[in-house]
Amino acid sequence: MDMTELEKRITRLEDIEAIKQLKVRYSHICDDMHNPDTIASVFVEDGIWESPDFGKAVGHAAIRELFLKFQKMFSFSQHNMMNPLIEVNGDHATGVWYIMGPWDFIETGAKQWFALRYDDEYVKANGQWKYKHLRVAMRMAEDRHV
């Protein structure tokens, strides 16, 4: 194997790890009371957060507003991400993730388990991976008994 091929392979592995770390940062922001002040940091300026179950926001300001809404909706969440399937193509990448976690609703007091699927598009901007389009779809919601 020549050095050029080895460099390509190492870059791909580093990109995959950076995308995994991006998802971890996103999860920490969500589990920090859906922090509206830090959520834009993981999206490009015209990034999209989209869910048929929870809404759609385009751009930093709209994503921040959506997370303000989530902050008033949920008193607790735990994003347990798993099974990443990440494809890198230069400065663009896609990822599929699954999540299983508990959520507590403020208004109703309901406590539920959610199973969700994320279909993500990423872009490498100024050497850093960010979300271009994050799609999340509900797969299951089940009451949680405490």
Residue written as token pair 């999209």: 48
Task: Determine the Cα–Cα distance for residues 71 and 57; give it in Å rounded to an integer.
Answer: 15
pLDDT in tens, 62-120: 999 999 999 999 999 999 999 999 999 999 999 999 999 999 999 999 999 999 999 99
**Are 95 and 85 a contacting pair, CB within 8 Å?**
yes
Provide the token pair at 145: 């008994």
CB atoms within 10 A of CB 13: 11
Average pLDDT, the chain: 96
24 pLDDT band (50/70/90 cuts)? Answer: very high
pTM of the model: 0.95
- Architecture label for domain 3-143: Roll (3.10)
Per-domain residue ranges for the chain?
3-143
Band the pLDDT of 1: cuts 50, 70, 90.
Answer: confident
